[in-house]
Amino acid sequence: MRVLMFGWEFPPHIAGGLGTACEGIVKGLAHNGVETLFVMPHASGDEDQSATTIINASDVAVDTVSSTLDEFLGKVKFIHIDSDMVPYVGPEEFSNVVEEERRRQVKDFRIQYGQKYNFSGKYGANLMEEVARYAMVGGTIALQNRDRFDIIHAHDWLTYLAGIAAKELTGKPLVVHVHATSYDRGDEKHMDTRVLDIEKRGMEAADKVITVSDLTRNIVINKYGINPDKVVTVHNAVDFSGRENLMVERGVKDKVVTFLGRITFQKGPEYFIEAAAKVLKRTKNVRFVMAGSGDMMNRAIRQVARMGISDRFHFTGFLRGADVQKMFALSDVYIMPSVSEPFGISPLEAMRTNVPSIISHQSGAAEVLKYAFKVDFWDVDAMADDIYALLQYPALSEFAAKQGYEEVNALKWNNATKKMIKVYESVL
Amino acid sequence: MKKSVCLYFQVHQPSRLRLYRFFDIGKDSHYYDQFANRTIFRRVAQNCYQPMNDILLQAIKRNKGKFKVAFSISGSALEQFERFAPELLDSFRELAATGCVEFLSETYYHSLASLRSPAEFKLQVNKHKEQIEKLFGVTPKAFRNTELIYSDEIGSMVSEMGFKTMLTEGARHIMGWKSPNHIYTNDLDPKLKLLLRNYPLSDDIAFRFSNKGWNEWPLTAEKYVGWLNQADGEIVNLFMDYETFGEHQSESTGIFDFISHLPEAVLAGGLQFVTPSEATSKLKPVDALSVPEPISWADEERDLSAWLGNELQQDAFNKLYSLTEKLSIIDDGTLWADFGHLQESDHLYYMCTKFFSDGEIHQRFNPYDTPYEAFINYMNVLSDFIIRVNEALAEKQQS
């Protein structure tokens, strides 16, 4: 079995967890005898290709190969994105808008025909344009390689349009993999309807939908209205091979409780701060660290100052590479109080570093981690209790560290990808 | 009697902190960005201190004692002079030797101690006084607080310490109908006389001089002396940062020509120069001035909001001063010095979030991209300092 896989990033150059998960997946698939062609918008050339063949979309010119322009455009509905939302218009104007859109698509396509597009592959201001262009290039790549794969696998909304294009042009089955949804990124009032639309189109066009947790599976079924029979949960795993736990000399004698991740609404930073203030009322020999950055960071800093705990609550800003490992190595308790977390790989990393973890019930990881402490994200009293207990009772923290370490080592992509292969087989 | 002009320059350079990360806490107690401090100091010395000292010295010599100025140089700045440009200390000594330059007293660390800890405030004022005596051979008699911060209470504390003269801002909201161009007294203690900054005339030089959109641009010494003559009262107090000359207003704006011509123009206009202490001994106060809430010379508000306006600043300030008692028990020179440098008001100023009013002037002197970064970095340093204080205290209590 061979898979054409559309991703957005791949280690070593990654901005989020998606790239790491993709690497784990292609390696797991390779272990189980499945070949992958991994397409990404911008490859740097230093990606590890031992388990997959990477196709850099920036190197591929838009080309229809055998099909004509009209056929190509008939099958693949591109979205043109640079205008604002179209306000309500009457039927006549609407048909003009549609006609104009069509002309624009042909024009766009003509401009891009035969051209390469240098993707940034990041999550920048022209993300929507990159997503649309990635679909065009993705369609081209699928046609050019049509004899080299049996199934298409697209990761997250950024690649769904490329997946749809590939399916339309080659007729091969499509599996979309939901690592996160708009519902995890913010409340319904502030969602980007363009993203929501792409997500829905991807899930609807897919022959099967893989979700990273049952939590996410429920969202896909209930919020996007996808047939439950089509949606399968394959929990994430984590690849710790070749990882030695760092030994880091500690500067502070106090115990350290760490939050590491984007500081956004979704991650529940304010609940961590409230719990920290409660713990500090009972014990002084502890420090709290919020590592990462995000749009709620400044609010978090103000909250800490207002509560008068800024000598015990530290911010590190965004950490990269070895500093992340260093931060785990310096921690005594890890906390992930996410309001909505499709999976959440960071507690697994913490537990692998022998750090006991407290995670919210509202995270996918809670479905697989028996030895993590689980609380509701809003229950700051329970969170404070657990932190306090892990700091004060060595028997408890030692037990949690030891069991947790073994638990996360057993979560292997080799096993997770076996489930994925079953999903592939069901649509072939 | 001739109307008096009192010219006073503030000289200060902060001890900028290096990028100090959480990982450094408890491991590395080196807090300062000496590269940035040296680079900036050298630049300001070249653009401002050196040329201005020369200009002032020549003007004093030319006018045979009739041109006078006052300086206040923070201890933090003096340390940087000693370290990065000792030759400039000689130049200040030469100015001191003319007898036409008064050196004012202030807190050694350009701190806000007057607002929180009278004991720490007195320590720093004494430390500064000793340093001025040592370096320039003169004893300061008039006082100016950090950023001209003043209130009735601060004034009475300063008076108790033996000062007869204090400088502050002629802030509109406390002056009301009163003119800043007279001598006033402290509302609680009439022994202390107040000199009030004439901010429109001071800011004409400090802020508006190079503004080509200003309808008075270009400003000449003659035109300016005309305005001084039109001003009511007995005295016009022109207080500004020394760095105005050549740094905030670059040489290309003609600021050096302006200041070189100003002494002769003022004297020719029938006015006289006085130093702050001369002013309060010659002139009679007209009234007591009530200032129940602290004022300063900063921003539109002329209050403390540039340093203590938001919760970040307040928490940092509270955490820092909560250490005062422990430090006096430990009484260790190295810890005192770091404690002092961490009290420099600049660190709090960098955390100011008033972007939309005077944000621009804040941003110009700010080593941080955002107030939040300033706060995080400062708190990381302070956390390390607190660990050292607690360790030293434990050691002291054991022995």
- Which three-class secondary structure state does DSSP give residue A281? helix
Residues of chain B neighbouring A324 (CB-CB closer than 8 A): none
Residues of chain B neighbouring A302 (CB-CB closer than 8 A): 310-312
CA distance between the termini of chain B: 66
For residues B131-140, give the mean pLDDT.
96
Q: Give the DSSP H/E element, type plus range, for residue A145.
A: none
CB contact under 8 A, B370 and A311: no
Amino acid at A162: A
Distance CA A289, CA A287 (A): 7
Whole-number mean pLDDT of chain B? 94
pLDDT at B388: 96
Looking at the complex, report in whole angstroms how far the Cα of residue A73 sits from the nearest Cα belonging to chain B: 47
Assess A371–B contact: CB distance below 8 Å, yes or no: no
Instruction: Kindly state the DSSP code that residue B312 receives in the 8-state scheme.
Output: H
- Which tokens in the block code for residue B188? 């609680």
Is the distance from CB of A342 to CB of A18 less than 8 angstroms?
A: no
- Which three-class secondary structure state does DSSP give residue A114? coil
Higher pLDDT, B80 or A187: B80
- Which three-class secondary structure state does DSSP give residue A326? helix
Q: Where are the beta strands (DSSP E) in B54-203?
A: 69-73, 101-103, 142-144, 165-169, 183-186, 193-197
Looking at the complex, report in whole angstroms how far the Cα of residue B26 sits from the nearest Cα belonging to chain A: 4
Is the distance from CB of A355 to CB of A411 less than 8 angstroms?
A: no
- The per-residue pLDDT for range B223-249, each reduced to its tens digit, is 999 999 999 999 999 999 999 999 999
Tell me the CA distances in angstroms from B361 to A225, A292, B13, B248, one per residue in order: 55, 30, 16, 10
Distance CA B150, CA B166 (A): 9
Other CB atoms within 10 A of residue B235 CB? 25
- Which tokens in the block code for residue A352? 């692998």
A100: phi then psi, degrees, rounded to nearest 5: -65, -40
Is the distance from CB of A304 to CB of B319 less than 8 angstroms?
A: no
Is the distance from CB of B138 to CB of B92 less than 8 angstroms?
A: no
Other CB atoms within 10 A of residue A71 CB? 12
pLDDT at B399: 84
Distance CA B165, CA B156 (A): 11
Strand-pair category, A255-260 with B249-250 = unpaired
Sheet holding A208-211, edge to edge: A53-56, A35-40, A2-6, A151-155, A174-178, A208-211, A231-233
CB contact under 8 A, B372 and A317: no
Q: Show the CA angle centred on residue A385, arms to residues A379 and A391, nearest 5°.
A: 135
Nearest CA in chain A to B314: A305
pLDDT at A87: 40
pLDDT at B359: 47
Nearest CA in chain A to B381: A311
Nearest CA in chain A to B382: A311
Least trusted range by pLDDT, from A16-20, A266-270, B92-96, B174-178:
A16-20
Other CB atoms within 10 A of residue A44 CB? 12
- Which three-class secondary structure state does DSSP give residue B395? helix
- Which three-class secondary structure state does DSSP give residue B154? helix
Strand-pair category, A333-336 with A313-317 = unpaired
Which residues of chain A register pLDDT less than 50? 65-66, 78-90
Residues of chain B neighbouring A291 (CB-CB closer than 8 A): 22
Q: Give the DSSP H/E element, type plus range, for residue B236.
A: strand B235-241
Residues of chain B neighbouring A316 (CB-CB closer than 8 A): 21-23
Nearest CA in chain A to B323: A311
Best of A285, A293, A311, A324 to disrupt the B interface (most B CBs within 10 Å) is A311
Residues of chain A neighbouring B319 (CB-CB closer than 8 A): 310-311
Quick check: B369 pLDDT over 70?
Answer: yes
Is the distance from CB of A387 to CB of A358 less than 8 angstroms?
A: yes
Asked if B147 is an active-site residue, the reply is yes
Dihedral angle of Cα B118, B123, B127, B132, to the nearest 10 degrees:
30
Assess B355–A contact: CB distance below 8 Å, yes or no: no
Residues of chain A neighbouring B388 (CB-CB closer than 8 A): none
pLDDT at B362: 54
Continuous H helices in B180-292:
199-206, 221-230, 255-268, 276-282
Strand-pair category, B235-241 with B249-250 = unpaired
- Which three-class secondary structure state does DSSP give residue A237? coil
pLDDT at B59: 97
For residues B174-199, give the mean pLDDT.
96
Best of A255, A298, A301, A331 to disrupt the B interface (most B CBs within 10 Å) is A301
Distance CA B126, CA A259 (A): 46
Amino acid at B315: D
Q: What ipTM does this complex have?
A: 0.78
Assess A253–B contact: CB distance below 8 Å, yes or no: yes
- Which tokens in the block code for residue B261? 């011509």
Quick check: B46 pLDDT over 70?
Answer: yes
CB contact under 8 A, B379 and A311: yes
Q: How many CB pairs under 8 A join A and B?
A: 67
What's the Rg (C-alpha) of chain B? 21
Which of B120, B147, B153, B344 is labelled catalytic? Answer: B147
Looking at the complex, report in whole angstroms how far the Cα of residue B196 sits from the nearest Cα belonging to chain A: 35
CB contact under 8 A, B23 and A311: no
CB contact under 8 A, A301 and B372: yes
Strand-pair category, A255-260 with A286-291 = parallel
Best of B20, B30, B315, B319 to disrupt the A interface (most A CBs within 10 Å) is B315
Count Cβ neighbours within 10 Å for each residue of B279-309 and write b for 16 or more, e otherwise: bbeebebeeebebeebbbbbbebbbbbbbbb
Distance CA B289, CA B303 (A): 16
Closest-CA residue to A142 (of A116, A114, A167)? A167
Amino acid at A36: T
